[in-house]
Structure 1
Amino acid sequence: MVEAVLIDLFGLPDSLHNNVQGILRNTLETIEKCSSTPAPFIYVMCCQVPEGERKGEKESLLPALRDFQSLKKGLEVVCAQNTAAVLYAIKQILDEKDLSIIKVILPSLRKELMKIYIDHLFTAVYQFEFEELRAASDCNNLQTIGPKSEEQTVDVALIRSEIQMHLESLPSLKGELTILKSSLIPDDIFLHGFTTRTGGISYIPTLSSCNLFSSSKRRDPQVVVKENLRRLATAAGFNPENFHRVKIDHANAVCVMGKTEPDSYDGIVTNQKGVTIAAPGADCIPLLFADPVRKACGAAHSGWKGTLLGVSMATVNAMVSEYGCNVKDILVVLGPSVGPCCYKLPRESAEEFHRIDPKCVRQFDSTTPYIDIRRATRILLESGGILPEHIQDDSVTDQSQNVTFCTACHPDKFYSHFRDGTNFGTQIGFISIKD
């Protein structure tokens, strides 16, 4: 069932601007006649021409729409200078109301164009259907507004540029962008950090504001995540065009930069200068690895499955085999992740952590014991030859040096899948070798 209707008047011919109220009235009558259950929310999108550029009939469109809006309950006029801005504003309204099934009524010449905007600004969470804007209110005898064209040229690059410029113009939300850094990793050789949730443009509560991961199951599109990453790169000082993130599989495969990339992997290593590698985390541990002697680095994503499968030592071993690193030179930092205070697993999984060390499990006799995946990671790293003093985790005594906060305990600072549910945001740990 359609939850909202979007009426696009951006492509309305100038000759019809003086009759915009009649066109809208006919459109609404058609919706009522042709739909068994009309959508309760109707949004009209139109161009808001800047003061200095107004001329002729364009100036009369907005006042007429405002007058019409005052007469029709449930109808809202949304205006902006371009399609990207107005569509993004409408997306915010839809998200606030948790609406996902949308009908778009628009001039025929705008359909292919609109599909490109929607592909960039929305995800698979939303369902769209399209209908041509017509001039009569008879379901069986409708006249299409504007000429039809079999071939339409759509400048995708121009649309992307328009979207990017609009997103870049938006203010940061929830405060300034903050990057946590470890004193263990030498900053004269490496650029690194762990992100928090502030300083981006993501506005959905569980994703706000510096969400750095997009998927078909969430409402943040890739273009928003890309803008958040651009802002992070500007603040941190790396090139977002030379940025590589692990492709999560919750396993132990490792990608070596410059070699054939696996379909999925939870670890990544490089010795190339200026290449930024990263691992996400929203309870799972983002791990950073640095060898200041051989000038190589790595990043890994370690959830409970990856921890048990040994992704941390798999990343270390890749640095040793690929770049000749000595395991005793490698530094490892565990980033923000769910702590033993909050994280629970079923008894069967807890038994595997108990075998690593009984201290990794609390309330072992319960059906869902508390698990310490950080302690398990340290034990596995030390068993693999990493020096204890070369591992930074939540065992640091000086809290001013702490970067391994519990993500579930700090909703103002970090995203948490465990706390927020399926529509959760994601922070990252990143590292690169300075030029």
Structure 2
Amino acid sequence: MLLFSTVFQLLGMAEAVLIDLCNLTGNLKNDCIQKFLPFLKDIVEKNTSNGASCVFMMCCQTPCSERSNIEGAPLDSICKQQVLGKDCEVVSNSSMAAVFYTIKQKLDEKNLSLIKMIVPLKRKAFIKAYVDCLFTTLYQFEFEVLREVWEGESLQQSFGDHHDLHILNQEQLLDIQTDIQRFLGSLESLRGTPTILKSYLIPEEPFLHGFTTRAGGISYIPTLGSMNLFSSSRRRDPKVLVKENLRRLGEAAGFNPEAFHPVKTDHANVVWIMGKPEPDWYDGIVTDQKGVTIAAPGADCIPLLFCDPVRKVCGAAHSGWKGTLQGVAMATVNAMIAEFGCSVKDVLAVLGPSVGPCCFTLPKEDAEKFHAIHPNCVRLFDSPSPYVDIRKATRILLERGGILPQNIQDDSVTDRSQNITLCTSCHPDKFFSHVRDGSNFGTQIGFISIQD
């Protein structure tokens, strides 16, 4: 008899259950499979009766050329015929990354995040490596270990004893990363090819720059689709998916994604001078190094790009409303002046897509701080939540710092065809927006580099 036991109790009720059958798919002979099915069916029924809304059986197919010695139909086909209920589905592919990615899409469609993973003991470390790569900590995985005994005869060969019980070696981890990268790289881009907005103010020589839009990535979640360029524990896009989006962007824009340095946002005014010790958090970055791309994110906050064509220096800054009040824009310019000898009269500043005064409000006590910069930065000042123009405030602060008005590009340009400081909230087809989309929002960036 095949016996199963768990080594832990779930802290809460699972919303979905994943059962790893991959190493059984091509190794159990037909008579063993037939004896195994009742126990598998029992697992499915117990979990669905305990509240799981869906169960996925994971089967990693073996290429046909390697399956000629298997008796009868493969396990995935038998499961589809004899085990499946209305809340159960078999997901099979030759790539483990593809199996997990397919299931993740189905979980995300239903907005599920509490996952029970049933896995043979010797496969736990292997499976966990895939989970760590393809899911963020927004998903809560609980592992239930499946112990197998067949009337005293070990089924280790069936379940695969080549994976270490507790830790994988570097070769195994590399194989997993390669599988994931190869699979993600094979996916078709969504929303067409990457679209990059460019400023008329920044010279093409020696600078490479742009502001991204939503087009050309592989993020499939509606509020993240498709060129999301930021991953966090509160969102559903893992780092590996964002890395693939960045690779595609770099290929389209002409920069090396391996030499890419975004700011580490803290909504403050710290600036990192590249080449000096890197702070834990900073909202501005400046450099005179060639071949490295620096970037600032934005999803309503302003991605700011700076350059000095005379000294061949560039900078990027993330300016939300808090950073605007703390002067992150001029802090970045001042770092260029102090470190690289730039003249304030030579610095060019470009404001990228951000939330406009049409859509952005703040509590009155915060709006008053923008009103103090200039009354025109606030509309409906006497209301509980006045509309605030962080762009106008940024321009005013830059001009007060010595940047020439003609050296600033924002939404005040007369020629509207040259305007790249579009409202992110008003253009859902082009940009991500936290104001519009809520907590699981995507992120675009402004990037700049000095070409070799």
Task: Provide the secondary structure at the position in 2 that maps to 1:76.
Answer: strand
8 Å Cα contact 1:175-1:198 kept in structure 2? yes
1:413 aligned residue (422, 426, 430): 430
Task: Provide the secondary structure at the position in 2 that maps to 1:164.
Answer: helix
CA distance in 1, matches of 2:243, 2:251: 12
Deviation, 1:5, is: 1.0
* Paired AA for residue 21 in structure 2: L
Q: Deviations over 1:142-163 (max 9, x none)?
A: 9985366656644111111110
CA RMSD of aligned residues (A): 2.2
Task: Provide the secondary structure at the position in 2 that maps to 1:60.
Answer: coil
8 Å Cα contact 1:177-1:199 kept in structure 2? yes
TM-score, normalised relative to structure 1: 0.94
Over the matched positions of the two proteins, sequence identity in percent amounts to 64
CA distance in 2, matches of 1:4, 1:14: 25
CA distance in 1, matches of 2:188, 2:307: 34
Alignment of 1:3 onto 2:15: yes
Q: Deviations over 1:360-414 (max 9, x none)?
A: 0000010000000000000000000000000000011222211101000000100
8 Å Cα contact 1:11-1:107 kept in structure 2? no
Task: Provide the secondary structure at the position in 2 that maps to 1:277.
Answer: strand
Q: Deviations over 1:328-364 (max 9, x none)?
A: 0000000000001111011001111111110000000
The aligned counterpart of 1:133 is 146
Name stretches of at least 5 consecutive residues in structure 1 with no aligned partner: none
8 Å Cα contact 1:42-1:75 kept in structure 2? yes
* Paired AA for residue 264 in structure 1: W
1:161 aligned residue (171, 178, 196): 178
The aligned counterpart of 1:347 is 364
8 Å Cα contact 1:196-1:427 kept in structure 2? yes
Name stretches of at least 5 consecutive residues in structure 2 with no aligned partner: 1-12
The aligned counterpart of 1:76 is 89
2:398 aligned residue (366, 381, 384): 381
The aligned counterpart of 2:56 is 43
The aligned counterpart of 1:16 is 28
Deviation, 1:39, is: 1.6
2:121 aligned residue (108, 112, 115): 108
* Paired AA for residue 75 in structure 1: C
CA distance in 2, matches of 1:281, 1:21: 55
Alignment of 1:245 onto 2:262: yes
CA distance in 1, matches of 2:152, 2:339: 68
CA distance in 2, matches of 1:373, 1:35: 51
8 Å Cα contact 2:136-2:235 kept in structure 1? yes
CA distance in 2, matches of 1:234, 1:73: 43
CA distance in 1, matches of 2:307, 2:39: 66
Q: CA, structure 1 residues 290+21, in 2 after alignment: closer, same or farther (shift >3 Å)?
A: farther
* Paired AA for residue 115 in structure 1: K
CA distance in 2, matches of 1:355, 1:336: 24
The aligned counterpart of 1:336 is 353
Alignment of 1:274 onto 2:291: yes
Q: Deviations over 1:103-160 (max 9, x none)?
A: 11222221110010000000111111222335689xxx99985366656644111111
8 Å Cα contact 1:23-1:135 kept in structure 2? no
8 Å Cα contact 1:123-1:220 kept in structure 2? yes
CA distance in 2, matches of 1:294, 1:300: 19
Deviation, 1:21, is: 5.2
Range 35-44 or range 294-303, more displaced: 35-44
Q: Deviations over 1:166-196 (max 9, x none)?
A: 0000010122210000010000110000000
The aligned counterpart of 1:65 is 79
